Amino acid sequence: MIETGRIVILGAGIAALTAALRLAPRPVLVISPDPLGQGASSAWAQGGVAAALGPDDSVAAHVADTVVAGAGIVDVAVAQAVAEAAPEAVAALVALGVPFDRDAAGAFALSREAAHGQARVARVQGDSAGAAIMARLIAALRNTPSVQVLEGFAAERLALSSGCVTGVWLGRADVPSQPVLLKTPAVLLASGGAAGLYAITTNPGRVRGQGLGLAARAGARVADAEFVQFHPTAIACGGDPAPLATEALRGEGALLVNSRGLRFMAGAHPAAELAPRDIVARAVFAQSQSGLAPALDARAIFAGNGKAHFPTVAAACAQAGIDPARQPIPVAAAAHYHMGGVACDLRGRSSLPGLWVAGEVAATGLHGANRLASNGLLEALVMATRAAADLAENLPPGEAPEVHLAPQVVGLGPDPAMVADLRGLMTDCCGVIRSESGLRRALGDLALMSRRALPEPMLNMVAAATLIAAAALLRCESRGGHFRADHPQPDPTLARRSRLTLAEAEALRDEKVPA
């Protein structure tokens, strides 16, 4: 066991790095499985940061669009607080040197994305916001003496004493090892989402619900686990993860067509290609299931200056052998973002004393059943700032020496075949379209997995998957990112957020699949 006075931050995306900087000069320890800037979903975010920055925009309009997209279960107080903080969050990034796109007059060049009433997304080089923001945060972090970064390590489970989080067991990220207990005054969990639990995903390979799983295994209450957002325009080139064709392309006029050259969104929703993501994703999925090869026709954009405005998409297309100026880009619906996560309040506090959460692993109530485009990076920035403020207010300042870990290499890591089976199961049974029979099958297979001797990372993944499947089985309606083929309409009596512990999810699982 090692004891430290440093606040331990699990994760290395935008939420984690923002919190570490905001906590300065308090000593913190950032645990990153990969070298900083690699392996975090934040760096791959193409859209940008949603904020009421335009002359005709307002916080009220931003809140209203968030509430509508969230399909009836957004926590309006949270939406108001986050939208109010959005311009300041963007200003803080500008102060760090993030080069947001500007128009000729020097104002933000804002883009419009799905379900936004107007252009509201501050972007960088069209589709490179996440990478640009991460680069500036990392540069600032490297120059902050109070921050220690341990790369190549991952959290495996939380340590508890009298129901309070008192530490974390850490192991090497890539080599099976005997975990070391690190005692700490507080843990901020900012480890990303759970979309990598699916076989078709846009998330980096490490982002597979491990953070959600380890918090749930410690007893943290989870909210809205059933709500997974599927991005409608992942590039269907066989990549794992699938590269993304940003929603901003549709904001610029790109159209969704099938192999017959027919637009299929024009009659599906009044906003057509700019309908809420869940509606577009189901339409793309339906075309795929029908063998009609959905594609994004952005030829007019890339025949002009699209390569300069959307360099990330252009590079992904080039790597896949696609010329977007001459042919539509084949697309598929892919697991992209988890609206659910560890339940927390506006201070970032979870139900477990000693555990704060921020970023995609948290469930604040901002997203409801369907995240509004580019509210994800915004929430990470705002909630990391709020969690850091609460930590600073409630923990005494002090100095702490750097932490040095040397876990002993032992045993075996997760079985790649089992991980592949788990991801396939989630795509087949807990994917874009769900049913009672499929969800029961998922819980049955998860029960069998859980009865095997599994390493800690696999236990965390199975726990996260169990929460998603159980919550989806309990919600007998369709709402936002959760669509039940056997209950295709929303039920007004279920217009509320869900709450679930892992123990409750496992009880439901075992009730359906007795040992």
Active site members: 277
CA distance linking residue 432 with residue 428, whole number of Å: 9
Residues sharing a CB contact under 8 Å with residue 400, sequence separation 6 or more, in sequence order: 4, 5, 6, 27
CA distance linking residue 108 with residue 85, whole number of Å: 17
Rounded to 5°, the CA angle 146-212-389 comes to 35
CA distance linking residue 70 with residue 208, whole number of Å: 23
Q: DSSP 3-state assignment of 235?
A: strand
CA distance linking residue 191 with residue 32, whole number of Å: 9
Q: Got the DSSP string for 187-233?
A: EEE----SGGGSSSBSS-TT-SSHHHHHHHHTT--EE-TT-EEEEEE
CA distance linking residue 219 with residue 385, whole number of Å: 25
Residues sharing a CB contact under 8 Å with residue 234, sequence separation 6 or more, in sequence order: 200, 202, 242, 243, 244, 245, 331, 332, 333, 334, 336
Terminal Cα distance for the chain, rounded: 36
Please, are residues 120 and 64 in contact by the beta-carbon 8 Å criterion?
Answer: no
With CA atoms as reference, report the closest residue to 31 among 124, 133, 152.
152
Rounded to 5°, the CA angle 336-97-367 comes to 30
Please give the structure tokens belonging to residue 95: 């102060």
Greatest Cα pair distance, the chain, in angstroms, is 67
Rounded to 5°, the CA angle 7-9-13 comes to 150
Q: Is the peptide bond before 241 cis (omega within 30 degrees of 0)?
A: yes
With CA atoms as reference, report the closest residue to 278 among 120, 45, 434, 422.
434
